[in-house]
Amino acid sequence: MAAREFQLFAEQLTMIVDVSELEARADVLMQAVLSPPSQIDRLVTAILWARTVVSIVDHFHPTKQVEYCRCRAVADSAIKRLLALESGPEHVRAWLHEFRAMYSVGHPLCAACSAARMIRADPARHWKIEDMTQVLSVSAARLANAFRVEFGLTAHEYIEVVRLCHALPLLAQGVKVEAVAHDVGYSSKRNFYEMFEKWLRMTPKGLMHLDRRRRESLAASLNHLVLKACTFSPGVTSLRQWA
């Protein structure tokens, strides 16, 4: 893999806002990186991996969090081994696993972000607020308030937007609206249309009339909205700007 391709791929890792997704996404990069054929290639690859480690750590530690935590200490050790050519992709994989575990302990998710992760894992489920409060051991009022604070949405609205995120790529692939509606959790096409028009002020057919760049920008806005983690700076992009 060329250095430029490596850099572009690695930059995608810093677009992730849920640390639980980091290892799976990084594994794709690892599989694409060939064994360096020469010493100079090993050095270049090591530098690229080190930069990737730094970018990941910085990404998950916003500037407003100035304290030096154990996540950074572990990263410093990994970087030193990489630049000394003492480790490779397999050690980066081990570091990612350790980083995820340490980050999850040192930077626990708030109630809303924990519930949001549950919803994203199974968007088609008929979610009830009681289902989430029982798992998270929080009151319904506290969870509802946390959703408004972290996402600017109610839990019900969050579920709708997550379902939209899953629906857009299916529609782009030409899957019939009825099938898409069922796949993302709606028992009728009418309910799906109502949700779709509520957020986007257009029908699924209208969406397909948009050019590719605009559809991709819309999808990015949706993902930003649903994946915004509580450790990141607030700021929710309005979807209705696309009407």
pLDDT in tens, 44-59: 778 888 888 888 888 7
Q: Using CA atoms, how far apart are residues 100 and 224, in angstroms rounded to an integer?
A: 21
Residue 96 · residue 24 · CB < 8 Å: no
At 71, the pLDDT band (50, 70, 90 cuts) reads confident
Q: Using CA atoms, how far apart are residues 110 and 114, in angstroms rounded to an integer?
A: 6
In the prediction, which pLDDT does 195 show? 94
Residue 119 · residue 127 · CB < 8 Å: yes
Residue 204 · residue 177 · CB < 8 Å: yes
What angle do helix axes 155-172 and 140-151 make, rounded to 10 degrees? 50
pLDDT in tens, 104-115: 787 777 888 889
151 alpha carbon, distance to own chain's centre: 14
- The vertex-56 CA angle with 225 and 9, nearest 5°, equals 85
At 37, the pLDDT band (50, 70, 90 cuts) reads low
Answer yes or no: CATH 1.10.10.60 is held by domain 111-242: yes
Domain boundary assignment for the chain: 3-106, 111-242
Query: Which of 168-198 are b and which e, b meaning 16 or more Cβ less than 10 Å from the residue's Cβ?
Result: bebbeeeeebeebbeebbbeebeebeebbee
Tokens, residue 242? 């696309």
Residue 144 · residue 154 · CB < 8 Å: yes
| pTM recorded for the entire structure | 0.66
Residue 202 pLDDT exceeds 70: yes
